[in-house]
Amino acid sequence: MTDYVFAPPAISSVAVEGEQARFPVRRIFCVGRNYAAHVREMGKDPDREPPFFFTKPADAVVDSGAVVPYPPETSNFHYEIELVVAIDREGFDLAPADALNYVFGYGVGIDLTRRDLQFEARDKGRPWDWGKAFDLSAPIAPLRRVSAVSHLSAGRIWLAVNESLKQDADLKELVWSVPEIISILSRSMVLRPGDLIMTGTPAGVGAIVANDKVTGGIDGLGKIEITIGSARAAS
Ligand code: MN
């Protein structure tokens, strides 16, 4: 047994629908610009350029129902509703036709974004981390096993702020499908159990502020709900 100089951090995890046991999170990969209408609203050209990825730390996950404090150093804090894919097998250089065999299940997630910091980084050619990879930036609703929901390639995906509908699209509009995303990602990394993939957001992103209630869902999969809290006080 390895000794540590202090107690190691707890393993981050996501709930699994209807089960006591939770899904342990290893890494969170996110796909950029994967719905054409969202690519356009970000000021880019939605031709089918290869997908690119960014990451969030595993401990950015937070359960549905949480209060997420308004994060520091932003005045343009955005929601992005996304389909989340959960991986439970090790795989490398997978063919698209084989990729779905590595999926544990699916969930509804929100890629919370400090848009002002993301755009500043983007425009200066710097990493996106400060815009995307901050504390509590990955709310994810309970995962549902493939055996419960089968594989999702279509279905309404939506998000509302204080009951006002902001994002409303269909998984059919994904530029790169789930099998393609898994296949392409697995050429760059050995995928491992516990990896999550946030598959990109449709059009309609926008700002949220303290006390906003953010709800969203994917037909046939489930719903997510978070409340934005006040900024965290110094400690
Ligand atoms: Mn996103």
Could you report the per-residue pLDDT of 146-166, keeping only the tens digit for each? 998 888 889 999 999 999 999
pLDDT tens, 30-71? 999 899 888 888 888 777 788 999 999 999 999 999 999 999
CB 209 within 8 Å of CB 42 = no
- Cα 90 to ligand 1 centroid, rounded to whole Å: 24
5 CA → ligand 1 middle, Å: 36
- Alpha-helical (H) ranges within 63-214 are 96-99, 115-124, 129-132, 146-149, 178-188
Helices (H) and strands (E) in the chain, counts: 6, 18
Q: Give yes or no for a contact between 105 and 145, defined as CB atoms under 8 angstroms apart.
A: yes
Residue with tokens 């290893």: 26
Pairwise CA distance, residues 209 & 197, whole Å: 26
If one looks up domain 21-229 in CATH, what number appears? 3.90.850.10
- Asked if residues 90 and 225 have their Cβ atoms less than 8 Å apart, the reply is no
CA of 1 to the centre of ligand 1 (A): 39
**What token pair was written down for 11?**
């393993």
Model confidence at 219: pLDDT above 80? yes
How far is 171 from 102, CA to CA, in rounded Å?
20
CA of 25 from ligand 1 middle (Å) equals 18
- The pLDDT assigned to 39 comes to 83
- CA 153 – ligand 1 centroid, Å: 18
DSSP track, 60-99: GEEETT-EEEPPTT-S-EEE-EEEEEEE-S-BSS--HHHH
Distance from residue 185's CA to the centre of ligand 1 (Å): 16
